[in-house]
A and B are shown apart, each in its own frame.
Chain A
Amino acid sequence: MKLFAQLLQNKKAMTGLVILTIIILVAIFAPLLTEYSPVKRVGRPHQAPSWDHWMGTTRLGHDVFSRLVHGARVSLAVGFGAGLLITLIGTVLGIIAGYKGGVVDEVINFFTNMVLVVPNLPLLLVLAAFIGQASPLVIAIILGLTSWAWGVRVTRSETLSIRQRDFVKSAEMLGEPGWRIMLFEIFPNLISIVGINFIGSVIFAVITEATLEFLGLGDPNTVSWGIMLYNAQNAAALAVGAWWDILAPCFALAFLGLGLALINFAIDEIANPRLRTGGMLNRWTRMVRLGEGKL
């Protein structure tokens, strides 16, 4: 739809989408990109990057590049999976609370406040520790069920402001049922906020998963960027000079975060035309400098 078309024209969005696409493709075609298995010992410990091993090896002799491209699958899956769950819960509860008002609103607000007040990371640490070695699926579910509160807040306040508009009143006067109004009248006006919420949640989920695994709460048999960091840390990689061991997953996480953030900025720019300065401001400054006019 219209938003998508505008996204494709925006430089930031294009860059972000390209980055994201690269990572997704790498994740999908991981086995084709490397001849090594990510869990087999294929080289000497802590070999520096070479033609055989593009990104060197870990302390256990695993190929870093192989672990990186296979690990992408897990990070993306958890990121988008948890992100989707967070956004879904947040949006649904937010719209219902904002539209229905009254008792429904109060109840949802109560639970939202409860969840908001609990500090996210410590809660996750406790849960993950309780469960023991949390697999990525478990991590994704925990993230999804504990991080939706902010989304509810944001969605609810947008819904409240849209709800006052005359076209919603008109739909009610026509006799449109409540669920139709929420889904087809209000929700389409929330798409950019929901989009930003989603991307933000994905970034959050990716980073938090990596954090939990880095801290040792993940399942060490998983191949993911977080576990790579965990292993590298345990192997004191930096201390022994094996910079590739730690930098590879760091860079991968940063790269993914960058791509997602760029997409987010672009959505924000499109949703709020006042942020779209870019070309106009350049032309304007040039004209002032040439003496063609002033303020």
Chain B
Amino acid sequence: MSQPVLSVRNLNIDYVGAEGDFHAVKNVSFDIAPGEFFGLAGESGCGKSTIAFAISRLHRPPALIRTGSVIAVNGRNVLELDDADLRRFRWREVAMVFQSAMNSLNPVLTIEAQFYDVLKAHGPISRAAARERAAELLKLVDIAPDRLDAFPHQCSGGMRQRIVIAICLALNPKLLIMDEPTTALDVVVQREILQRIDVLRKKLGFSVLFITHDLGLMVQVSDRIGIMLEGELVEVNDAQTIYRQPQHAYTKRLWASMPKLRGEQTRLEAAP
């Protein structure tokens, strides 16, 4: 493929303890192509969120990204950026949506102020121009511009998450990381948001690294999927192949443990 938007090679991340270390991510390697929707699936503790945080270098001690790991975004190794470059890199090349929008939005600032904050941090811009750009971005996610003067608590959960997505897209990043963005939302709202992301992706051309434990959802939205188990990437393939012809025993077990909405009803046996 042409240069991948994200190229992860030999990623090893440990959580350092007083006595021993916990290996959260073990030698993980994968690529994401431009415009691709890549899903990272796994159960709690498998390391998928750890990887997401590492890409933007958001970790704090006791996390430690081992030497030898490479995280290349558009060809540049993120792990070697100094602080100034890192600030420029964040949000402009990679943006992140977290699980709870209420944690990402400042509760005492209006929506417009939050956009202004982000735009101003990455280059000189007048308040008026920022407001215009903010209205444009809100339109992308189907929110009326009168919401600019509202506070986060005045918006519903789904709306807040869409606002966060709009802020993420403010600087046209090439990669959007989404860590369980819809887990706390209703199924219908989830559907609306993901459909919107799909449309925007095709329009603006960014790639998505989508993290969730909901496998059915993942197959529905992703181009390719990686399955993680206890820090290792055990299977990577395109979505339909992972769904219909899973190779790894764990992937097969994950599928077997999902009740189906349609089709034959079989009694599922418990995992040992």
Chains A and B touch each other in the complex, with CB atoms below 8 Å apart: yes
The chain A residues found within 8 Å of chain B, CB to CB, are: 278-281, 283-284, 287-288, 291-295
- Provide the bound-state CA to CA distance between A287 and B20, in Å: 12
State whether B18 touches A287 (Cβ < 8 A): no
Closest 7 CB pairs of A and B: A279-B18, A293-B64, A284-B16, A293-B66, A280-B18, A284-B61, A295-B59
Does B123 belong to the interface (CB within 8 Å)? no
State whether B64 touches A284 (Cβ < 8 A): yes
State whether A279 touches B59 (Cβ < 8 A): no
| Cβ contacts under 8 Å, A293 to chain B | 14, 64-67
Q: Which of B17, B61, B65 has the most CB of A within 10 A?
A: B61
State whether B18 touches A292 (Cβ < 8 A): no
Query: Would you list 8 pairs from A and B whose C-beta atoms are within 8 A, ordered by A residue?
Result: A279-B18, A283-B17, A284-B16, A293-B14, A293-B66, A294-B67, A294-B79, A295-B59
Q: How many residues of B contact A (CB 8 A)?
A: 16
Does B60 belong to the interface (CB within 8 Å)? yes
State whether A295 touches B63 (Cβ < 8 A): yes
| Cβ contacts under 8 Å, B61 to chain A | 280-281, 284, 295
| Cβ contacts under 8 Å, A280 to chain B | 16-18, 61-62
- Provide the bound-state CA to CA distance between A278 and B14, in Å: 18
The chain B residues found within 8 Å of chain A, CB to CB, are: 14, 16-19, 57, 59-67, 79
State whether B19 touches A279 (Cβ < 8 A): yes
| Cβ contacts under 8 Å, A278 to chain B | 18
| Cβ contacts under 8 Å, B59 to chain A | 295
Nearest CB of chain B from residue A286's CB, rounded to whole Å: 9
- Provide the bound-state CA to CA distance between A293 and B63, in Å: 9
- Provide the bound-state CA to CA distance between A292 and B16, in Å: 12
Nearest CB of chain B from residue A269's CB, rounded to whole Å: 13
| Cβ contacts under 8 Å, B16 to chain A | 280, 283-284, 287
| Cβ contacts under 8 Å, B17 to chain A | 280, 283
Nearest CB of chain A from residue B168's CB, rounded to whole Å: 22
| Cβ contacts under 8 Å, B66 to chain A | 292-293
| Cβ contacts under 8 Å, A292 to chain B | 64, 66-67
| Cβ contacts under 8 Å, A284 to chain B | 16, 61-62, 64
Nearest CB of chain B from residue A266's CB, rounded to whole Å: 16
Nearest CB of chain B from residue A279's CB, rounded to whole Å: 3
Nearest CB of chain B from residue A67's CB, rounded to whole Å: 45
Q: Which of B57, B60, B64 contacts A287 (CB 8 A)?
A: B64
Q: Which of B57, B62, B65 has the most CB of A within 10 A?
A: B62
The chain B residue with its CB closest to the CB of A288 is: B64
The chain B residue with its CB closest to the CB of A281 is: B61
- Provide the bound-state CA to CA distance between A281 and B61, in Å: 7
Q: Which of B18, B19, B60, B67 contacts A295 (CB 8 A)?
A: B60
Nearest CB of chain A from residue B194's CB, rounded to whole Å: 31
The chain B residue with its CB closest to the CB of A282 is: B18
| Cβ contacts under 8 Å, A283 to chain B | 16-18
| Cβ contacts under 8 Å, A281 to chain B | 61-62
- Provide the bound-state CA to CA distance between A279 and B16, in Å: 10
Nearest CB of chain A from residue B129's CB, rounded to whole Å: 35
- Provide the bound-state CA to CA distance between A272 and B63, in Å: 19
Nearest CB of chain A from residue B199's CB, rounded to whole Å: 36
- Provide the bound-state CA to CA distance between A287 and B21, in Å: 11
> Told that A293-B14, A293-B67, A295-B57 touch, could you supply 14 new A-B pairs with CB distance under 8 A?
A279-B18, A280-B62, A281-B61, A281-B62, A283-B17, A283-B18, A287-B16, A287-B64, A291-B67, A292-B67, A293-B65, A293-B66, A295-B59, A295-B61
The chain B residue with its CB closest to the CB of A280 is: B18
